């Protein structure tokens, strides 16, 4: 069989995904081992409005690598996919569409029709991201795909809401909330971001004190809110204002008089020491207002224009227009003290960047006291465990300790409508259905709450609602039957015990094993899943959390549309291939941010091509039925025991591949993906391609069956280990290996059609570690490298074959003798003379290794000056190292206190250096 000369990712990518999916390889049911341990991951559901970005690609790569790795090990794996209804995002898309196509507003078509449009939008555009995930090679079980607004997930939402309400963990109340005037909805604290503005102003307003000619100066960044002031507060201990406490202020621009009050909240040292109090527009002022029983005067509409309470002069004005007008009016009245430039951080809406207005509003909240304790208790036991642990473990715990109540209502139409109904008197009835609510109300006419729930409310249930939990008290959780059981029923095997109940997904797959996600939603999502899963299922949602870093643009800034520094994963797939992009992403240290660079992906594109070509070489010579036969009964022990594998290079590569396998598994176990990638990269390229294939070329080309079989086993093992990162390339190649078949699958998958994704993942075998072989091989490699160095430094063409002399101790002599052919081949030498002492003419280039003195007679070719420089350079280098060691070893403190092993190690090295330096010095003298 002959492969194309270069790897073409496109064709491999088109060849396999559909077959994998249609064969049911992604579903846990493919696993035929009834005792298989489960391994489960739920995907952080991307927004239905979303399309694949680099952050997804990174996280999906990690989740897929873990899933494929565990699946190959024989676990019953499930990676569950799905999407999130993304309240505000979808709503905005539909509003835009409506405006563009029909010049209508949502109110023109009504809530019901709007809902239909939103669903239609979801149907039409919502699968963009799922199609892109197929391109990525994500081995998710599509048969279990979920959407946060699926009927059963919505039922779960309503039941959770009702339960929490009954227990008093959900309440409705008047609080200062974050209001986005553009989206016209309330936002949770976590949906508000900060933006620093340098052009802020701090305005000092003078308020006249009634019955005096005094004024009191307050400073504000939002002058328009003075229209809603209901007091001025000072610190009780502030001598400047003590005499004014209790007096009234004639609030300018209004007809109102407001009191001067004393409150500890005011810091006498800060600003003027006097603070205007606007209880309906500021959280701190709200608290002050509560303490002093102040009126709460809301002076804005929901679109942030001023309302009638702001006075006729201001009613209808936008908040910023009103702000300018207030300042202007104060100036006219001579009550404007000054306006200072002031750098200010403003709260802005995470999505639309509109400045958020804190206002007093009636909303639904989740009380966080008990919720926090649920999560905190687990957090103290390091559940979940974060990777990387620093800083997330601590940040997570600290955040929980300072948690505030969660605003869960949203003034939107797209989402889970709050299951609360009101009668004509405003009494509230919370129930999962309208009928139930009606029953509770005694049959009155009810109107459902118009708000929907925060998208993160349903996301918080994702860990268990996706597994069929609905919270229905009678029906319990739906039972998913095993494929086997379904077949029994279909076949009508009447005596099968119908009462045998296979475990539901909920029982089987929860807790999930790991959650892979970004830093930004640890609080927003991870914490809430922990709380709600514990609360409603009594289990951990997941054991581990892998926190991925941010893939930054080439400019080192987060990728964003406005910056235009985004890199599209799909473009990378087209340019370098899916596998190269995946393994590059996996090569980023867990949790670390990284600047995107194409060169990194190119490196792995080249790696893919290297793998392709190494396989190409092996297969060119493997069309051989004997090799086929032996491959199917292959295992490492078998290869190692084969007398034909007792050559040094064979023992060495078997040891190397075993060590690599053990290390790769360990790295994956601890979520050190970059470590696994690095191990595989260097094993494959350096050990396997550069040394092993080069050494074995002749045998392979000659069609030696044992050699071919062995090299294909190494290749097979390598491809399996690479598969979690490079699924397409490895499948494409593995299926071409002689003898690859379902017989090589993990025992759990013997029935399935052949695929590397079901092959056993190499675990490595410590019994195959061969320290002697590794030591001997490096002695041989050292000699070859030295000879190559001589050739390169002396600038001797490879066309010129020379004789190499080696002097060494007797046991090393026999090692070199045994590997004569290998040394000659890779050093491109003609003769090898091994003896106790070097016996060479003066016109020779010389070198030394730990185990050998080397000389290459170069009569007529040697440039003595070059050789002197070469030797001198080596002496300098070694001497520097020796000087360091001498110093260390002559330090009595070191020798006494350092571990004896370490001291001995350095002494050995010192002896080696001494020997090598002496040898090189002799060589140098011999030239003179």
Q: Which of residues 899-918 bind RNA (CB under 7 A)?
A: 899, 902, 909
Residue ranges in 404-433 that form contacts with RNA under rule CB under 7 A: 404
391 binds RNA (CB under 7 A): yes
How many chain residues interact with RNA (CB under 7 A)? 95
769 binds RNA (CB under 7 A): no
Distance CA 459, CA 290 (A): 34
What's the closest the beta carbon of residue 256 comes to RNA, in angstroms?
18
Please give the distance of CA 234 from its chain centroid, rounded to a whole number.
49
Taking the least distance from each CB to RNA, the nearer of 315 and 598 is 598
678 binds RNA (CB under 7 A): yes
Distance CA 295, CA 821 (A): 97
883 binds RNA (CB under 7 A): no
Taking the least distance from each CB to RNA, the nearer of 119 and 399 is 399
What six digits make up the tokens of 735? 């299926």
605 binds RNA (CB under 7 A): yes
Q: Which residues pair with 207 in a beta bridge?
A: 216
What's the closest the beta carbon of residue 615 comes to RNA, in angstroms?
8
What six digits make up the tokens of 783? 């000699």
562 binds RNA (CB under 7 A): no
753 binds RNA (CB under 7 A): no
Q: What residues contact 155, with CB distance under 8 A and at least 6 apart? A: 432, 470, 471, 472
- Choose which of 315, 690, 774, 863 interacts with RNA (CB under 7 A): 690
Distances (CA, A) of 361 to 88, 281, 409, 702: 19, 10, 11, 84
Residue ranges in 858-877 that form contacts with RNA under rule CB under 7 A: 873, 877
- Choose which of 127, 393, 603, 879 interacts with RNA (CB under 7 A): 603
553 binds RNA (CB under 7 A): no
Burial zone of 546 (CB within 10 Å; 0-12 exposed, 13-18 middle, 19+ buried): buried
Taking the least distance from each CB to RNA, the nearer of 520 and 743 is 520
Stretch that binds RNA, among 62-70, 280-288, 505-513, 719-727 (CB under 7 A): 280-288
Residue ranges in 227-246 that form contacts with RNA under rule CB under 7 A: none
What's the closest the beta carbon of residue 483 comes to RNA, in angstroms?
40
Distances (CA, A) of 240 to 113, 209, 217, 274: 62, 14, 12, 10
3-state DSSP assignment of residue 317: coil
Distance CA 852, CA 915 (A): 11
What's the closest the beta carbon of residue 634 comes to RNA, in angstroms?
21
- Choose which of 599, 771, 811, 860 interacts with RNA (CB under 7 A): 599
Taking the least distance from each CB to RNA, the nearer of 345 and 814 is 345
What's the closest the beta carbon of residue 54 comes to RNA, in angstroms?
13
Distance CA 918, CA 462 (A): 71
Distance CA 182, CA 189 (A): 17
194 binds RNA (CB under 7 A): yes
What's the closest the beta carbon of residue 639 comes to RNA, in angstroms?
20
- Choose which of 334, 435, 897, 900 interacts with RNA (CB under 7 A): 897
Taking the least distance from each CB to RNA, the nearer of 47 and 888 is 888
Taking the least distance from each CB to RNA, the nearer of 615 and 655 is 615
Q: Which of 508, 551, 548, 514 is nearest to 529 (CA)?
A: 514
- Choose which of 115, 208, 259, 271 interacts with RNA (CB under 7 A): 271
Name the DSSP class of 21.
H
DSSP string, 597-613: -HHHHHHHHHHHHHHHH
What's the closest the beta carbon of residue 654 comes to RNA, in angstroms?
18
Q: Which residues pair with 596 in a beta bridge?
A: none
CB atoms within 10 A of CB 485: 16
98 binds RNA (CB under 7 A): no
589 binds RNA (CB under 7 A): yes
Residue ranges in 117-156 that form contacts with RNA under rule CB under 7 A: none
What six digits make up the tokens of 819? 């590997």
Element (H, E) at 57: helix 54-72
E strand intervals along 708-828: 802-807
- Cβ-contact 825, 843 below 8 angstroms: no
338 binds RNA (CB under 7 A): no
- Choose which of 124, 402, 493, 562 interacts with RNA (CB under 7 A): 402
What's the closest the beta carbon of residue 92 comes to RNA, in angstroms?
22
Report helix, strand and coil shares of the chain as percent, to nearest 5: 50, 15, 35
Give the CA count within 13 Å in the CB-facing half-sphere of 483: 10
Q: Which of 283, 295, 244, 288 is nearest to 264 (CA)?
A: 288
Residue ranges in 614-643 that form contacts with RNA under rule CB under 7 A: 614, 616-617, 620
What six digits make up the tokens of 68? 């494929």
Stretch that binds RNA, among 187-195, 460-468, 708-716, 830-838 (CB under 7 A): 187-195
CB atoms within 10 A of CB 504: 18
3-state DSSP assignment of residue 368: coil
Strands 215-220 and 192-208: antiparallel
What's the closest the beta carbon of residue 206 comes to RNA, in angstroms?
13
493: region left, alpha or beta (phi > 0 left; psi from -120 to 50 alpha): beta
What's the closest the beta carbon of residue 606 comes to RNA, in angstroms?
3
What's the closest the beta carbon of residue 312 comes to RNA, in angstroms?
26
Distances (CA, A) of 476 to 166, 469, 566, 634: 20, 8, 46, 48
- Choose which of 124, 493, 795, 928 interacts with RNA (CB under 7 A): 795
- Choose which of 119, 142, 399, 634 interacts with RNA (CB under 7 A): 399
Taking the least distance from each CB to RNA, the nearer of 136 and 675 is 675
Query: Token pair 């400047």 is at which residue?
Result: 240
Residue ranges in 196-215 that form contacts with RNA under rule CB under 7 A: 202
- Cβ-contact 677, 587 below 8 angstroms: yes
Taking the least distance from each CB to RNA, the nearer of 101 and 194 is 194
- Choose which of 190, 227, 622, 721 interacts with RNA (CB under 7 A): 190
- Choose which of 250, 483, 706, 898 interacts with RNA (CB under 7 A): 898
| 821 to 840: interface string for RNA, x by CB under 7 A | --------------------
Length of the chain: 928
- Choose which of 110, 173, 237, 283 interacts with RNA (CB under 7 A): 283
Stretch that binds RNA, among 134-142, 739-747, 804-812, 898-906 (CB under 7 A): 898-906
Stretch that binds RNA, among 372-380, 641-649, 744-752, 886-894 (CB under 7 A): 886-894
Distance CA 502, CA 505 (A): 9
What's the closest the beta carbon of residue 681 comes to RNA, in angstroms?
7
Stretch that binds RNA, among 109-117, 301-309, 599-607, 732-740 (CB under 7 A): 599-607
592 binds RNA (CB under 7 A): yes
Taking the least distance from each CB to RNA, the nearer of 754 and 861 is 861
What six digits make up the tokens of 797? 């063409």
Residue ranges in 725-744 that form contacts with RNA under rule CB under 7 A: none
685 binds RNA (CB under 7 A): yes
3-state DSSP assignment of residue 65: helix
881 binds RNA (CB under 7 A): yes
Stretch that binds RNA, among 311-319, 770-778, 789-797, 915-923 (CB under 7 A): 789-797
Distance CA 438, CA 159 (A): 16
Q: Which value, in Å, is the radius of gyration of the alpha carbons in the chain?
A: 37
Strands 146-147 and 170-180: unpaired
Taking the least distance from each CB to RNA, the nearer of 156 and 601 is 601
503 binds RNA (CB under 7 A): no
């Amino acid at each position: 069989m002959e492969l194309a000369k270069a790897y073409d990712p496109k064709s491999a990518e088109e060849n396999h995904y559909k077959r994998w999916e249609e064969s049911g390889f992604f579903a846990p049911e493919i696993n035929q081992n009834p005792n298989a341990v489960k391994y489960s991951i739920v995907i952080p559901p991307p927004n239905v409005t979303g399309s694949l970005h680099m952050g997804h690609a990174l996280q999906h790569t990690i989740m897929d690598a873990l899933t494929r790795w565990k699946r190959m090990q024989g676990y019953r794996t499930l990676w569950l996919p799905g999407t999130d209804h993304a309240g505000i995002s979808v709503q905005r898309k539909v509003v835009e569409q409506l405006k563009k196509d029909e010049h209508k507003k949502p109110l023109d078509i009504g809530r019901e029709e709007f809902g239909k449009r939103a669903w239609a939008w979801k149907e039409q555009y919502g699968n963009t991201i799922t199609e892109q995930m197929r391109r990525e090679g994500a081995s998710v079980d599509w048969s279990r795909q979920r959407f946060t607004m699926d009927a059963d997930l919505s039922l779960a939402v309503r039941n959770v809401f009702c339960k929490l309400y009954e227990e008093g963990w959900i309440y409705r109340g008047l609080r200062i909330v974050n209001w986005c005037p553009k989206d016209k909805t309330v936002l949770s604290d976590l949906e508000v971001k900060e933006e620093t503005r340098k052009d802020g102003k701090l305005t000092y307003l003078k308020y006249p004190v009634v019955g005096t000619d005094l004024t009191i100066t307050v400073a504000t960044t939002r002058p328009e809110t003075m229209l809603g002031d209901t007091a001025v507060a000072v610190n009780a201990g502030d001598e400047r204002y003590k005499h004014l406490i209790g007096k009234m202020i004639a609030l300018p621009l209004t007809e109102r008089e407001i009191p001067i009050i004393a409150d500890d909240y005011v810091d006498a040292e800060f600003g003027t020491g006097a603070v205007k109090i606007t209880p309906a527009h500021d959280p701190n002022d709200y608290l002050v207002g509560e303490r002093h029983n102040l009126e709460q005067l809301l002076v804005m509409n929901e679109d942030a224009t001023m309302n009638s309470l702001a006075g006729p002069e201001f009613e209808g004005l936008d908040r910023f227009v009103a702000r300018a007008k207030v300042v202007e009016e104060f100036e006219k009245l001579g009550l404007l003290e000054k306006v200072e430039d002031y750098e200010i951080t403003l709260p802005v809406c995470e999505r639309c960047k509109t400045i958020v207005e804190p206002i007093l509003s009636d909303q639904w909240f989740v009380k966080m006291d008990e919720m926090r304790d649920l999560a905190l208790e687990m957090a103290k036991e390091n559940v979940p465990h974060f990777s990387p642990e620093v800083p997330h473990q601590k940040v997570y715990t600290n955040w929980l300790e300072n948690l505030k109540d969660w605003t869960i209502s949203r003034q939107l139409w797209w989402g889970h409508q709050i299951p609360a109904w009101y009668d004509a008197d405003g009494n509230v009835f919370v129930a999962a259905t309208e009928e139930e609510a009606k029953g509770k109300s005694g049959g009155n006419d009810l109107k459902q709450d118009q708000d929907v729930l925060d998208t993160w409310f349903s996301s918080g249930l994702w860990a268990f609602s996706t597994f069929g939990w609905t919270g229905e008290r009678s029906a319990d959780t739906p039972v998913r039957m095993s494929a086997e059981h379904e077949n029994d029923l279909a076949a009508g095997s009447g005596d099968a015990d119908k009462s045998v109940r296979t475990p539901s997904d909920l029982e089987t797959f929860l807790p999930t094993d790991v959650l892979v996600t970004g830093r930004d939603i640890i609080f927003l999502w991870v914490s809430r899943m922990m709380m709600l899963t514990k609360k409603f299922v009594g289990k951990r949602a997941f054991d581990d959390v892998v926190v991925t870093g941010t893939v930054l643009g080439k400019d080192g800034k987060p990728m964003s549309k406005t910056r235009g520094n985004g890199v599209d994963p799909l473009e990378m797939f087209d340019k370098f291939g899916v596998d190269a992009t995946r393994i590059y992403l996996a090569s980023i240290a867990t949790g670390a941010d990284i600047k995107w660079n194409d060169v990194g992906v190119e490196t792995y594109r080249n790696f893919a091509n290297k793998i392709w070509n190494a396989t190409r070489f092996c297969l060119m010579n493997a069309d051989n039925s004997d090799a086929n036969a032996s491959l199917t009964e292959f295992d490492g022990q078998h290869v190692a025991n084969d007398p034909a594998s007792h050559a040094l290079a064979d023992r060495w590569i078997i040891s190397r591949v075993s060590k690599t396998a053990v290390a790769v598994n360990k790295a994956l176990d601890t979520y050190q993906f970059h470590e696994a990638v690095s191990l595989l990269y260097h094993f494959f390229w350096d050990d396997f391609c550069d040394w092993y294939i080069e050494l074995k070329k002749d045998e392979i080309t000659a069609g030696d069956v044992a050699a071919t079989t062995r090299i294909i086993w190494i290749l097979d093992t390598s491809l399996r280990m690479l598969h979690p990162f490079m699924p397409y390339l490895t499948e494409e190649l593995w299926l071409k290996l002689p003898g690859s078949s379902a017989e090589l699958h993990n025992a759990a998958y013997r029935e399935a059609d052949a695929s590397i994704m079901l092959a056993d993942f190499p675990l490595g075998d410590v019994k195959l570690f061969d320290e002697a072989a590794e030591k001997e091989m490096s002695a041989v490699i050292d000699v070859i490298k030295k000879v190559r160095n001589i050739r390169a430094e002396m600038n001797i063409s490879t066309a010129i074959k020379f004789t190499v002399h080696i002097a060494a101790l007797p046991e090393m002599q026999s090692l070199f003798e045994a590997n004569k052919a290998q040394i000659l081949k890779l050093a491109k030498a003609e003769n090898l003379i091994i003896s106790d002492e070097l016996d060479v003419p003066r016109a020779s280039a010389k070198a030394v290794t730990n185990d050998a003195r080397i000389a290459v007679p170069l009569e007529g070719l040697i440039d003595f000056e070059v050789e002197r420089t070469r030797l001198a350079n080596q002496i300098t280098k070694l001497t520097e190292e020796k000087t360091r060691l001498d110093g260390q070893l002559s330090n009595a403190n070191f020798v006494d206190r350092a571990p004896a092993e370490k001291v001995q190690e350095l002494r050995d090295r010192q002896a080696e250096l001494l020997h090598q330096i002496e040898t090189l010095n002799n060589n140098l003298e011999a030239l003179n």
